[in-house]
Structure 1
């Protein structure tokens, strides 16, 4: 990476005592693990919009598509205060060059998924999003976003962090004064990574690049970005990963002996069956890539899309 990787994070997850009860929700994985690779931009919507610590608890009420923010006991409507902050804050964040955002689960301001919204009878339905999280999602539709609770799921964690690094690579690419020729090179390097998420969108990206001379550069870059980031939003399943592993193996038809091919096939099969993590067959393939100096594969982002220290491919 040629630039720092900045991600927004709900302030309470960094250990800041900004919650309504004066406490925090410090997440050690975020600060101690991700903090080694990312720069954090902390945001607490409640405090930054002018609310005190401690403060009265709040909840969302009404239409889940356009909820109101009320305090529990005093029934003060804080909606406009929060929305005014959101409008200003998302524009300020646009200057931060963010590559991702981690929100606080369940928060009426920062919850991203399944936030409780109460109807007139006081019955909650987990169908909403926090007002600030929703504003960020509208302003940055392709920004990788997650909640800290969902990062406990190994597959969701890998997908989110992979998208963050990929977004940074794309931003760095755009910052280098690219043209069609450089886009072809970028697309070539991303091939296997994108295929592990969506072969269909990879084909669409390839068709777009092939017609690149017919499209003005700003439009071409915008359309490619849309497809690239949309593809990475899709989950890289075991089946998709297995297909990519077999595709890579095909590059060594002439180099590998019968025993080496059998060993590699067994490891790929064991990964497919959930017996070993993805890092096992990938490590062996990387060994062969370097041993036989397979130049095309050496440039593939798929073989090393994020730091090994994060151990994102170490789960079965």
Structure 2
């Protein structure tokens, strides 16, 4: 890869001592495994507001039915909501080139989900909030893949996130270098099998959308909408049945060239994957073996077989 993938990240996850307690939450997966492929853009919204580390803890406070404030836990009179939203708006304007973002879980500034929100007049709380900075990030860049450090410990969520940032990076590179209707259609064609594994209904809807590219006067407007639809589709969790459908589809390309025993072996391996006895890597490895023996132009271009570097070992657990 000529250019590394640009990914935003909460600075504490890179090991920077910027947390309220003066410490960090170093995310080994990011620092040790992703760093060869990713250039991180670290941000600590609270430090950016001029706060120190260590500092008094912040929390989200529900002041009205549809209004949440960012306040100090022990001094609710000092409200940082407006400054935080102002910083977020300014900062996000410089982050539009990103292909993903990793945020710190539970943070009142950066948490993506289930952030604790306190009642203004009691100690009662509920875990249904979103950090103020991340809330603005999601609102201004709805297509951007965002994940929390804790959720990335889940093999399926990790694989999904990495597949999305690699796909968006490739699309962003295309937009920066040689964007034409033909190149965009070619990009979509390369991702067809991968997209089919996520959601069949949205796959066909996106296919119809791409087929209508000639009806758009502005290619930039089309790409803006396509990017959002693509990332929405890929935000679905690919199921075993979805992958099984794709594997069986690919199997059809080789059936007439395989011996009876080879076809039986491949069929059984795909079935064992569907039943959960084998990881996805097993049938894909055998299919790639047959693709090397019996080259096919369409299949050889499909990102489904290599959506990200194999060294990341992401298909062992899905």
Q: Shorter-chain TM-score: which interval?
A: over 0.9
Q: Please, which runs of 5 or more residues in structure 2 have no aligned partner?
A: none
Aligned twin of 1:27: 27
Aligned twin of 1:52: 52
Aligned twin of 1:221: 223
The alignment partner of 2:245 has SS state of helix
C-alpha displacement at 1:37, in angstroms?
Answer: 1.3
Aligned twin of 1:3: 3
2:179 and 2:316 map into 1 onto residues whose CA distance is 35
Aligned twin of 1:171: 172
Change (3 A) 1:183 1:79: closer
1:12 and 1:219 map into 2 onto residues whose CA distance is 36
Aligned twin of 2:268: 266
1:272 and 1:65 map into 2 onto residues whose CA distance is 44
Aligned twin of 2:126: 125
C-alpha displacement at 1:213, in angstroms?
Answer: 2.3
1:89 and 1:184 map into 2 onto residues whose CA distance is 32
4+ runs deviating over 4 angstroms:
none
Q: Deviation string for 1:182-222 (max 9, x for gaps)?
A: 22222211110110112222212222232322222233323
The alignment partner of 1:42 has SS state of strand
2:154 and 2:89 map into 1 onto residues whose CA distance is 32
Higher alpha-carbon deviation: 114-123 or 201-210? 201-210
Change (3 A) 1:211 1:257: same
RMSD: 1.4
Normalising by structure 1, what TM-score?
0.95
Higher alpha-carbon deviation: 157-166 or 218-227? 218-227
Normalising by structure 2, what TM-score?
0.95
Asked whether the equivalents of residues 64 and 127 of structure 1 are also in contact (C-alpha less than 8 Å), the reply is no
Aligned twin of 2:114: 114
2:22 and 2:67 map into 1 onto residues whose CA distance is 28
Q: Deviation string for 1:65-124 (max 9, x for gaps)?
A: 531111122332222222222222111223xx1110000000000101010111132211
Asked whether the equivalents of residues 143 and 231 of structure 2 are also in contact (C-alpha less than 8 Å), the reply is yes
Where in structure 2 are the equivalents of 1:45-84 lying within 5 Å? 45-62=45-62, 63=64, 65-75=66-76, 76-84=78-86
C-alpha displacement at 1:64, in angstroms?
Answer: 7.4
Q: Please, which runs of 5 or more residues in structure 1 have no aligned partner?
A: none
The alignment partner of 1:276 has SS state of coil
Change (3 A) 1:215 1:19: same
C-alpha displacement at 1:225, in angstroms?
Answer: 2.1
Asked whether the equivalents of residues 143 and 227 of structure 2 are also in contact (C-alpha less than 8 Å), the reply is no
Asked whether the equivalents of residues 5 and 99 of structure 2 are also in contact (C-alpha less than 8 Å), the reply is yes
1:248 and 1:267 map into 2 onto residues whose CA distance is 13
The alignment partner of 2:67 has SS state of coil
